[in-house]
Amino acid sequence: MAQQVRTSRGGLKTARAFGTLALVAWLSGGAQAAEPPAPVAASAAAAKPKPALTVQLVGLQSSNWQQTLSANGTVAAWQETVIGAETGGLRLAEVLVNVGDAVKRGQLLARLSNEMVQAELAQSRAAAAEAAANLAAAQADAERARQLKASGSDALSAQQLQQYQTQALAAQARMEAAHARVKTDELRLAQTRITAPDDGVISARLATLGAMAQPGAELFRLIRQNRLEWRAEVPATELLNLRPGMAVQVQGLDGKPVSGRLRMLAPSVDVQTRMGEAYVDLPAAAPLRAGSFARGSFQLGASQAWSLPQSAVQLRDGFAYVFRVGADARAQQLKVSLGRRQGDRVEVSAGLDPQARVVASGVGFLSDGDLLRVVEPTAAAK
């Protein structure tokens, strides 16, 4: 009996120990069932969407911008004078200037051989002197005949008196003709000196030493007063926005802007291109050359502009887009129209509300519907 009691007591202890272990195991199993396995937690985290980009927002900025009209055109001489010989048959004895030389009004450019002209002038002067002597003798004879007739003498008839007076008049005409020939020869002698008609710069030279000059043949070209103008081609619809005296900026050959002034507008437009010309006066020291191509802009005045940084605008397929952040933190692509540019900013002329805020930069990496994380500038700096 004693042995049985010990055995039953040991079995009781064993049963109690087994029950304790079962309780611990049940509690441990319940705790494990409350937490999902590690692969399940990882898949749940992967299913949660992540922002495509952390962005900042920027709004439209209002300011007064200069309104301009851009155009292309050609730089040309204000007036280009053709200089040639006025007399022919004479040899070019001297050529004193070349292309690019600055000349003054009346400056000698070339000289024709004048020996024959001088000889003809000397002959004309001699003939004029002879005519003057004959005139003096004829006038003296006519005066004596008049006095004799006035004294009442019958030695001279009225017909003879008239003849003396006619001879005097003929001598007067011959003397005037002789003086005209003298002036003609003097003019021919002066024309052997080819001079500049105005201040300017020689732009072309065709004169060759020893060549025979022909009347009207071109010898030199002169840009009057070294004055250039920009002949801009402007669409006919834009001509109404231009006024004489308006300020113009023309790009020089060195890339720097040159200030000009609109002088006049062409009264007609080209029937093929529907473009009209605007003539812009340029300063004398402008870094431009006649015949060169130039771009420029007409300053139409200041006006209000709503602008964004260029980094906020995405250009694709010939259109401009910006990205607004919706209430679900997703990017909303908006198509906008652009206008003027100034520095790193661009004018938004249509497509965006003035109170709207859009993504400030990084728009090249965005697509419509991307999830975004918006931060303030101070948070981004930190």
Structure token digits, residue 228: 């250039």
Does the pLDDT value for residue 19 go beyond 90?
Answer: no
Domain boundaries, the chain: 2-35, 53-64+304-381, 69-78+226-302, 80-213
The pLDDT-based confidence of 170 (bands split at 50, 70, 90) is very high
Where residue 369 falls (left for φ over 0; alpha for ψ -120 to 50; beta otherwise) is left
What's the chain's average pLDDT? Answer: 84
The pLDDT-based confidence of 34 (bands split at 50, 70, 90) is very low
pLDDT confidence of residue 379: 47
Give mean pLDDT, residues 122-140.
93
206 with 220: CB under 8 angstroms?
yes
pLDDT confidence of residue 14: 42
Q: Residue 183 and residue 373: Cα distance in Å, rounded?
A: 97
pLDDT confidence of residue 92: 93
pLDDT digits (tens, 9 = 90+) for 190-209: 999 999 999 999 999 999 99
Q: Nearest Cα to 300, choosing from 355, 340, 347? A: 340
pLDDT digits (tens, 9 = 90+) for 80-113: 999 999 988 899 999 999 999 999 999 999 999 9
Note the CATH architecture for domain 53-64+304-381.
Beta Barrel (2.40)
Does the pLDDT value for residue 53 go beyond 90?
Answer: no
The pLDDT-based confidence of 33 (bands split at 50, 70, 90) is very low
Q: Is 362 exposed, middle or buried (CB count within 10 Å of its CB: 0-12, 13-18, 19+)?
A: middle
pLDDT confidence of residue 12: 36
Q: Report which of residues 31 and 195 the model is more confident about.
A: 195
Q: Nearest Cα to 324, choosing from 50, 58, 53, 54? A: 58
The pLDDT-based confidence of 151 (bands split at 50, 70, 90) is confident
Q: What is the pTM of this model?
A: 0.60
120 with 184: CB under 8 angstroms?
no
pLDDT digits (tens, 9 = 90+) for 118-127: 999 999 999 9
What CATH number is given for 69-78+226-302 in this structure? Answer: 2.40.30.170
pLDDT confidence of residue 343: 83
Pairing of strands 200-205, 102-103: antiparallel
- Cα radius of gyration rounded to whole Å, the chain: 52
The pLDDT-based confidence of 2 (bands split at 50, 70, 90) is very low
